[in-house]
Copies of this chain bind each other. A is one copy, B any other.
Amino acid sequence: MGQSSLNTTRLHVRYSETDQMGTFYNSRVLEWFECGRTELMRQLGVSYRQMESRGAMLPMIESHVEYLGRAVYDDELELTTTVSMSGKARVRFEIQIVNITTDQPLARGYTVHAITAPDGRPIRPPQWVTDAINGP
């Protein structure tokens, strides 16, 4: 019981996300990872918007991406995102992206985030954040 800590969401590749190699530009994966994080946190009941409004920011401190396949404009992508605490003060998201249109893996990776006040100063993770991430 409790909310699932795994989120699946879909999006279409925008024309603005492609490049002249005829596939998506590499940095877009980090933007799509953001979509996965946003939807997972919303599902867990602690939307990132709400976190920021309560003074807890999650600036990225590390990212890792493996590029596994191609995608063109309008291909539909499925993002699968999970989250966990990494030590006592960091949050780690793992993400996989599959190109649904071609049925091929597109990318996988992870991002690690500090927990800070709006001024960038690290803070102790609020209980309501760790509870949501660790689950019931």
- Please list the residues of chain A having a beta carbon within 8 angstroms of any beta carbon in chain B: 12, 14-16, 18-23, 25-28, 30-31, 34-35, 38, 47-49, 52, 57, 59-67, 70, 72-74, 111, 120
Contacts and interface: CB of A to CB of B under 8 A. Distances in A.
Contacts of A22: 20
Given A19-B20, A28-B27, A30-B26, A61 B67 contact: yes
Contact of A70 (B25, B48, B52, B120): B120
Contact of A62 (B25, B35, B65): B65
Contacts of A72: 20, 49
12 contacts: A12-B38, A15-B34, A15-B38, A18-B19, A18-B20, A27-B27, A47-B74, A59-B67, A61-B66, A62-B67, A63-B64, A63-B67
